Amino acid sequence: MAALIAENFRFLSLFFKSKDVMIFNGLVALGTVGSEELFSVVAFNCPCSPARNYIYGLAAIGVPALALFLIGVILNNHTWNVVAECHKRGTKNFSSAATFLLFGSIMGRAAVAPVTWSVISLLRGEAYICALSEFVKPSSLDKFPAEFGAEVLARFPCKDVPANLTRFRDEVTRRLRYESQLFGWLLIGIVAVLVFLTKCLKHCCSPLSYRQEAYWAQYRSNEDKLFRRTAEVHSRILAANNVKQFFGFVALDKEEKELVQEFPVDGVQPSPQWNAITGVYIYRENKGFPLYSRLHKWAKGVEGNGPTPEGHEMLFLAS
């Protein structure tokens, strides 16, 4: 148990450091597998009671999947870019194709963890067996005693049955586990086909060459790293200046003193500048030259957000 918890904490550390989409999705899937195993060990406990089994079994699969989906939506930067875009500019500048692409990107990324949870739950089979054992028709079981009904079938997942029904319990468990795992493998196949088709469609519809798309991904990653690092230093120096102005001095360590001396900060960026670099960005070109981000667009002094003769919306969203 301690090893499993340690693995989950290690996953969380990698999760928040990862920037690559494939690594990010892989870490989400691995973390979900570990969480599902932990949940099955310490939390899942079938009530083995008619009517309760079905609700509990479905809740064990569906509720964590829903929670993971919402967490995925919350952790996606595109979600808050959409909120900022709608708040500041509305959605009038986006075509229906761009809107579909944007929400598809958010939902697709958020679906990784809940789909993984559902697949692992179905392959394990405990929740499915718990939910549907009471619905097995006694007539489908050879020589099943007529005096027993759904109440006894509901106790099959807990193995709390008379000795003469052990054979039937094993048969029902085997049948339901087969169905559960079959649905799990089918879900894996469907997701794999959808991912393959989505990747093909993305590259077929992309206005960029493979090398330019790779360059764009590198630019976005470097811009984000440098922006975050610079913002952290800028805010620290600004805070130091304000604290010094209030107290007359500021207690800085050696590294912070060097930062204050090397990078003088006189003020802050006005709100219009922050608004200009915040929000959804879909790849655009200006007079044939690419604009790789809102910050890039602001630095070049390009005005407007919609497609114009000088600023062409290419309907291509960053992954």
Going by pLDDT thresholds of 50, 70 and 90, the confidence category of residue 283 is confident
Q: Last residue of some domain: 190, 205, 220?
A: 205
For residue 309, pLDDT over 60 is answered with: no
Give a yes or no: residue 112 inside a domain. yes
Residues 168 and 275 in one domain: no
**Number of Cβ atoms within 10 Å of the Cβ of 83:** 12
> What is the average pLDDT score of the chain?
79
Domain-embedded: residue 307: no
Maximum mean pLDDT: which of 37-41, 81-85, 174-178: 174-178
| In a domain? residue 21 | no
Tell me, yes or no, whether 179 and 111 share the same domain. yes
**Res 112: pLDDT:** 87
What whole-number distance in Å separates Cα of residue 41 and Cα of residue 39? 5
Residue 11 lies in a domain: no
Q: Please tell me the distance from the alpha carbon of residue 11 to that of residue 80, in angstroms, as a whole number.
A: 24
- Residue ending a domain, among 205, 236, 262, is 205
Q: Are residues 192 and 57 in the same domain?
A: yes
Residue identified by tokens 């392959």 is 123
Of 208 and 90, the one with more pLDDT:
208
**pLDDT at residue number 282:** 77
Q: In the structure, what pLDDT confidence band is assigned to residue 281 with cuts at 50, 70 and 90?
A: confident
pTM exceeds 0.85: no
Token pair for 124: 């394990």
Mean of the pLDDT values across residues 284-313?
73
Beta carbons of 312 and 304 less than 8 angstroms apart: no
Cβ–Cβ under 8 Å, residues 57 and 128 = yes
Which domain range does residue 284 map to? 210-300
> What's the token pair of residue 141?
């079981």
Band (pLDDT 50/70/90 cuts) for residue 11 is: very low
**Whole-angstrom distance, CA of residue 47 vs CA of residue 158:** 8
Same domain assignment for residues 198 and 216: no
Cβ-proximal residues to 252 (8 Å cutoff; 6+ apart), any chain = 240, 260
Looking at the fold, whether 144 and 257 belong to one and the same domain comes out as: no
Looking at residue 238, its pLDDT comes to 94
Same domain, 238 and 200: no
Long-range contacts of 241-247 (CB under 8 A, 24+ apart): 241/265
Shared domain check, 230 and 122: no
pLDDT tens-digit series, residues 42-98: 567 888 888 889 999 999 899 989 998 999 999 888 888 788 777 766 665 666 666
pLDDT attached to residue 70: 93
With a cut of 80, say whether residue 318 has pLDDT above it: no
| Cβ pair 148, 138 in contact under 8 A | yes
Together in a domain, 214 and 126:
no
Residue 306 lies in a domain: no
Rounded to the nearest angstrom, the gap between the alpha carbon of residue 260 and the centroid of all alpha carbons in its chain is 38
pLDDT attached to residue 185: 95
Q: Is there a domain that residue 310 lies in?
A: no
Are residues 271 and 197 part of one domain? no
3-class SS at 289? strand
Q: Could you tell me if 274 and 148 lie in one domain?
A: no
Is residue 24 predicted with pLDDT exceeding 70?
no
Flag the least confident range among 17-21, 32-36, 123-127, 170-174: 17-21
Compare 273 and 201 and report the one with higher pLDDT.
273
| Choice among 18-27, 204-213, 248-257, 272-281 with the minimum mean pLDDT | 18-27
Say how far apart CA 62 and CA 60 lie, in whole Å.
6
Number of domains in the chain: 2
Q: Is residue 24 part of a domain?
A: no
Residues 91 and 180 in one domain: yes
Last residue of a domain, one of 151, 170, 205: 205
**Gap between the terminal Cα atoms of the chain:** 36
In a domain, 97, yes or no: yes
220 versus 163: the higher-pLDDT residue is 220
Q: Are 160 and 64 in a shared domain?
A: yes
Residue 183 has pLDDT above 90, yes or no: yes
Does the pLDDT of residue 180 top 90, yes or no?
yes
